[in-house]
Chain A
Amino acid sequence: MKTRYSFGGDEHIFVECDEEMSLEAFFKGMSITSALREAKIKGVTEICPANASFQVRFDPDVISPDDMMAELKKLETVAQAAAPTLQTRIIEVPVLYNDPWTHETLMRFRERHQDPTSTDIEYTARINNLDGVDGFVKAHSGAPWFVSMVGFVAGLPFLYQMVDRKRQIQSPKYLRPRTDTPRLTVGHGGCFACIYSVRGAGGYQMFGITPMPIYDPNQTVPYLRDFMCLFSPGDIVKWKPIDREEYDHTVAEVDAGRWMPRIAPVSFSLSEFQKDIDGTNARIMEALNGH
């Protein structure tokens, strides 16, 4: 894993922790960006962690680009000494897989897909050697996922599956992006899942929909009153398959301002995870289920 630094014009430094995605690369970025936040360097205006990289925006009238670069390289050394642990939270996200709304949309854009004769979920199940839709849902919702980046549009989480690499679900993006995606679609591209926070264009495969709002610019949803975006990098997500009845009930409860997501605090250690993936995931699930 070799860190690569580059200027993004006169206001950004782009740092690639690794070319390929891994939790190790994500944690390296988290450690350096955390150290940078604590260092409170004058002239730093935005710190944006991403999957296997991160970006810093700075004001070159306050700190010169070369000095900013030198500070970051110093922090990389400091951050490497830190233990890759995280005090975070696990959030349960209900999902209606194979829902009618993403189905209608994926049929509308079928000619832009690799396999026009099946649905996104059937196609992805097949290319990942999973046993149809049921086998897919089991694999998708069986283990927790790590929020490795928030962005693209407001509050949209990218999620990384917390299983052995050979068990990770992978799928290509659409051949040509769609011009429409329902709000709160659960999507997938490369090795990443996402939740579309707003309606709009998109290229990820569409597997289902959650009734749980994750972005509310008006801040009327009770759990989004403190801040309009739910997710931060480092959050852990557990998908919970639900049926249509529970979906409709949840939507009604959300609209009435009564529904609250299940969220629990949890600690995460990368070295513990590397040693025992299933054991770590079981402990995380216990935190959610209150044992």
Chain B
Amino acid sequence: MAINVIKPGLSTTVQDLGRPGYYHIGIPTSGGMDTLSLAAANLLVGNAAGDAVLEAVFLGPELEFTADATVAVTGADMPPKVDGEERAGWTAFKVKKGQVLSFGFLKAGARAYIAVSGGIDVPVVLGSRSTYTLGALGGFKGRKLEAGDTLPVGARAGAAEGRSLPETLRRKPGMPAELRMLPGLYWHRITEAAGKNFFEDTWKVAPEADRIGYRFKAGRPLEFVARDQPFGAGSDPSNIVDACYPYGSVQVPGGTEPIVLHRDAVSGGGYFMLGTVVSADMDLIGQLQPHTPTRFVKVTMEQALQARHDRKAVLDAITAALV
């Protein structure tokens, strides 16, 4: 069984739950940006939650199937079509041999997850099938899909048609989006007033938002606490001696536009960070479109752990509903 790529979409990559363990040499975890939607898509078609799927951003691909398969599309609201006929999202449907899966225009969210029964069967590299495009590693030849590619698909009988995930279990960002953040790291580099402004302001997702990181603009610039720059740090007040960047960490080069690092994060660098978006809200970032109004919400560690617990409960409920 295989899938022929007729049109690749804007930036469609193979992703699973990622390859942790190599961040110390600069290889990030990669994997789906919205892992809850990724897991749901897999479970809907009868796959294991962490099988490899296609992650399509903003514009879906056009795919021809060489054998019958069960398919489900979750995440962004980007209506799937089989030979031009619309199918429901978050619901398993059949695609027959020779039929073409395509997509309507994006209505909400940013990333759609396309699971196919059997999973996308590209080689496992360092424990994962995820694509890390910056390092040309994993996925399909280490890159996004191109027209003419043929994707191998694993052999597995798919789940029955019509299985659907209840609306209440489809987690989506609010409006404005709210990202919970634990202050820390180099928070002490900015003034008290700047810290207050940062949480008060409504930011907007900038066009430079991808798998490496999401940039935000439209908030007030941050004022730094004056100091003599330490040896090796560089001359800008936002510079530090190059250090590791946590996933979800919020760096603000020059104090102007915050960047939240995501699954394909650069593992380190010389910009100060003022905190970290909690692990529970990383999935939501993957569904933000450019220009989406966004607020950072200050939380404590206790609240961060509660959010983690709540997210796990949603995943458990999704699993219970579909397995």
Contact = CB atoms under 8 A, between A and B. Distances in A.
A154 B242 contact: no
B240 to A, nearest CB: 8
B242 A190 contact: yes
A273 B248 CA distance: 38
Nearest to A5: B184
A172 interface: yes
Contact of A21 (B132, B230, B275): B230
Interface string B220-239: 00000000001111110001
B136 interface: yes
A191 B234 CA distance: 8
B246 A8 contact: yes
Interface string A71-87: 00000000000000000
Interface string B177-202: 00000101100000000000000000
Interface string A181-193: 0000000011110
Interface stretch (B22-30, B65-73, B157-165): B22-30
A100 to B, nearest CB: 24
Interface in A143-158: 149-156, 158
A189 B239 CA distance: 11
B26 A152 contact: yes
A131 interface: no
A53 B185 CA distance: 11
Interface residues of A, number: 55
Nearest to B304: A10
Contact of B266 (A60, A152, A233): A152
Interface string B296-319: 000001001101100010000000
Given A9-B277, A10-B279, A53 B244 contact: yes
Contacts of B234: 172-173, 189-190
Nearest to B132: A154
A14 B273 CA distance: 11
A223 to B, nearest CB: 16
Contacts of B232: 20-21, 51-52, 190-192
Pairs A-B, 8 closest by C-beta atoms: A21-B232, A8-B246, A9-B276, A20-B230, A55-B244, A151-B267, A154-B135, A151-B26
Given A20-B231, A46-B23, A55-B246, 9 more contacts: A10-B182, A57-B23, A60-B308, A65-B301, A150-B24, A154-B27, A154-B132, A198-B134, A200-B134
17 contacts: A9-B249, A10-B278, A21-B232, A22-B231, A46-B20, A46-B21, A46-B24, A54-B244, A149-B242, A151-B266, A152-B269, A153-B26, A165-B231, A173-B234, A190-B239, A198-B134, A217-B137
